[in-house]
């Protein structure tokens, strides 16, 4: 099944199911008013949701209408919890060099994760307001999962069974603010603005063989201002999502609707390019002695879309966003 949420002026939006061709949608309101509500009642609702999804595929769903991703919010416009990891060790090690921070102990055996803001996610085509170009505006392409309830102390194997949906993410970062916040020991706050999501959240079966070992085995194609930037493969993830969820739930329960991110998709091969500007800048420093690629400025755009191995558009749809200036009162800190 493929879910999307249309903007309708409410905090949680209008939940719809979307056809496999991404051309048609049908309202889910008779079953659940929002995706969060559906996740909270998943076991009871899933059979009826699958019946409705099947009717949409055969063209027999009553009230079906054309689907337009430009009208979408994030699939979950807000979530009980947003946890983001750094599960691609190649990216993490490059970032250590970027920020000149000491190596993290046990980095290759214990996942690194922070808790981000989950009250104001952005949709796939929303403009992204930023207070200052001097903050080092950066995109970060990654994958994520949306969980059902997860008990404290769950094993990685059992944790993987809690995955209800898979999503594609653009986790915005302000690189100039990150080093100070990391050094405080309290984690990210201002360095992590609202996170963006591709329009569709899909059940694991929609990925077929591309969902293996708790990893998304697809390339994430990234364009910056219309130019190829990278197509790293999600299968190179060092910690699978079962391990990440278990790490998050070691000392607490996770409620339905919790989102866990992979961190920036990153491959060791330089031919794969990158999914964020900071990584490319570090590679330029290592290879050429200086960073040449600038961070984003107002008016710059980024596009991200996972694709199937044969080049077809992938299951999540595309994130296509433009950075804009926030209001003057925000930029001046009022």
pLDDT for 259 equals: 98
Percent of the residues in the chain that have a pLDDT greater than 90, as a whole number: 85
pLDDT for 279 equals: 94
Distances (CA, A) of 54 to 30, 166, 200, 209: 16, 19, 17, 21
- Where among 19, 36, 67 does a domain terminate? 67
Residue 192 has pLDDT above 60, yes or no: yes
What is the torsion angle, in degrees rounded to the nearest 10, for the CA atoms of residue 215, residue 168, residue 104 and residue 270? 80
- Within a 10 A sphere around the Cβ of 90, how many other Cβ atoms? 18
Q: What is the pLDDT confidence band of residue 333, given thresholds at 50, 70 and 90? A: low
Residue 94 backbone phi and psi in degrees, to 5: -65, -40
Query: Could you tell me whether strands 259-261 and 319-325 are parallel, antiparallel, or unpaired per DSSP bridges?
Result: unpaired
Residue 251 has pLDDT above 70, yes or no: yes
pTM of the full predicted structure?
A: 0.94
Please indicate, yes or no, whether residues 150 and 25 belong to a single structural domain of this protein.
no
Residue 334 has pLDDT above 50, yes or no: no
Please indicate, yes or no, whether residues 137 and 277 belong to a single structural domain of this protein.
yes
Please indicate, yes or no, whether residues 42 and 86 belong to a single structural domain of this protein.
no
Residue 206 lies in a domain: yes
pLDDT for 107 equals: 76
pLDDT for 187 equals: 80
Please indicate, yes or no, whether residues 109 and 244 belong to a single structural domain of this protein.
yes
Q: What's the pLDDT tens digit per position in 201-222? A: 999 999 999 999 999 999 999 9
Percent of the residues in the chain that have a pLDDT greater than 70, as a whole number: 97
What residue has token string 């981000």?
A: 116
Residue 76 lies in a domain: no
CATH of the domain at 213: 3.90.850.10
- Alpha-carbon 100 to chain mean position: 26
pLDDT for 329 equals: 53
- Where among 44, 67, 90 does a domain terminate? 67
In terms of pLDDT, which residue wins out, 86 or 108? 86
pLDDT for 90 equals: 86
Please indicate, yes or no, whether residues 46 and 172 belong to a single structural domain of this protein.
no
Please indicate, yes or no, whether residues 47 and 102 belong to a single structural domain of this protein.
no
Q: What is the pLDDT confidence band of residue 330, given thresholds at 50, 70 and 90? A: low
Please indicate, yes or no, whether residues 86 and 63 belong to a single structural domain of this protein.
no
Q: What is the mean pLDDT of residues 96-102?
A: 69
Residue 331 has pLDDT above 70, yes or no: no
Distances (CA, A) of 308 to 99, 138, 200, 217: 34, 26, 15, 9
Residue 123 lies in a domain: yes
**Token couple for 157:** 């194997």
Q: What's the pLDDT tens digit per position in 150-163? A: 999 999 999 999 99
Q: What is the pLDDT confidence band of residue 180, given thresholds at 50, 70 and 90? A: confident
C-alpha 179/C-alpha 176 separation (Å) is 7
- Where among 41, 67, 93 does a domain terminate? 67
Residue 70 backbone phi and psi in degrees, to 5: -65, -15
C-alpha 199/C-alpha 220 separation (Å) is 15
Residue 260 lies in a domain: yes
Q: What's the pLDDT tens digit per position in 116-130? A: 999 999 999 999 999
Residue 276 lies in a domain: yes
Please give the helix or strand (H or E) that residue 94 lies within, else none. helix 89-99
Q: Are 82 and 195 in contact (CB under 8 A)?
A: yes
Please indicate, yes or no, whether residues 25 and 89 belong to a single structural domain of this protein.
no
Residue 168 has pLDDT above 80, yes or no: yes
Residue 87 has pLDDT above 90, yes or no: yes
Q: What's the pLDDT tens digit per position in 285-328? A: 888 989 999 999 999 999 999 999 999 999 999 999 999 999 85
Q: What is the mean pLDDT of residues 189-202?
A: 94
Please indicate, yes or no, whether residues 53 and 155 belong to a single structural domain of this protein.
no
pLDDT for 98 equals: 64
Q: Which range (15-19, 186-190, 257-261) has the least confidence?
A: 186-190
Q: How many domains does the chain have?
A: 2
Please indicate, yes or no, whether residues 63 and 181 belong to a single structural domain of this protein.
no
Q: Are 260 and 145 in contact (CB under 8 A)?
A: yes
**Token couple for 171:** 């986790």
Average pLDDT, the chain: 94
Please indicate, yes or no, whether residues 101 and 63 belong to a single structural domain of this protein.
no
Residue 106 has pLDDT above 90, yes or no: no
> Could you tell me the residue range of the domain that residue 292 belongs to?
82-331
pLDDT for 220 equals: 98
Q: What is the mean pLDDT of residues 222-246?
A: 98
Please indicate, yes or no, whether residues 61 and 86 belong to a single structural domain of this protein.
no
Q: What is the mean pLDDT of residues 175-186?
A: 81
Residue 77 lies in a domain: no
- Within a 10 A sphere around the Cβ of 70, how many other Cβ atoms? 11
Q: Annotate 274-305 with b (16+ C-beta within 10 A) or e (fewer).
A: bbbbbbbbbbeeeeeeebeeebbeeebbbbbb
C-alpha 292/C-alpha 82 separation (Å) is 33
Distances (CA, A) of 245 to 3, 43, 130, 240, 250: 22, 20, 31, 9, 9
What residue has token string 């278990």?
A: 246
């Amino acid at each position: 099944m493929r879910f999307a949420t249309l903007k309708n002026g409410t905090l949680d939006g209008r939940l719809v199911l979307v056809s496999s061709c991404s051309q048609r949608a049908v309202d889910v309101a008779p079953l659940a008013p929002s995706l969060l509500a559906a996740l909270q009642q998943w076991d009871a609702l899933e059979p009826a949701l699958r019946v409705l999804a099947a009717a949409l595929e055969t063209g027999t769903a009553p009230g079906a209408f054309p689907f337009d991703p430009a009208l979408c919010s994030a699939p979950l416009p807000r979530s009980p919890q947003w946890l983001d990891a750094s599960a691609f060790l190649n990216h993490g090690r490059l970032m250590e060099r970027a920020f000149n921070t000491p190596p993290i102990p046990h980095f290759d055996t214990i996942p690194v994760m922070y808790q981000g803001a989950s009250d104001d996610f952005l949709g796939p085509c929303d403009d992204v307001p930023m207070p200052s170009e001097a903050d080092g505006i950066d995109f970060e392409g990654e994958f994520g999962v949306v969980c059902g309830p997860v008990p404290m102390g769950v094993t990685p194997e059992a944790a993987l069974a809690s995955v209800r949906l898979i999503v594609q993410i653009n986790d915005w970062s302000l690189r100039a603010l990150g080093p100070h916040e990391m050094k405080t020991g309290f984690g990210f706050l201002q360095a992590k603005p609202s996170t963006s999501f591709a329009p569709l959240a899909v059940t694991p079966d929609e990925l077929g063989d591309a969902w293996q070992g708790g990893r998304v085995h697809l390339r994430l194609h990234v364009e910056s201002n219309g130019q190829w930037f990278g197509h790293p493969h999600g299968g190179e993830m060092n910690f699978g999502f079962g391990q990440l969820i278990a790490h998050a739930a070691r000392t607490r329960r996770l409620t339905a609707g919790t989102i866990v991110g992979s961190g920036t998709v990153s491959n060791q091969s330089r031919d794969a390019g990158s999914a964020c500007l900071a990584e490319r800048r570090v590679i330029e420093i290592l290879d050429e002695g200086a960073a040449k690629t600038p961070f984003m400025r107002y008016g710059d755009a980024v596009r991200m879309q996972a694709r199937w191995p044969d080049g077809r558009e992938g299951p999540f749809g595309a994130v296509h966003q433009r950075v804009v200036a926030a209001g003057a009162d925000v930029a001046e800190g009022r």
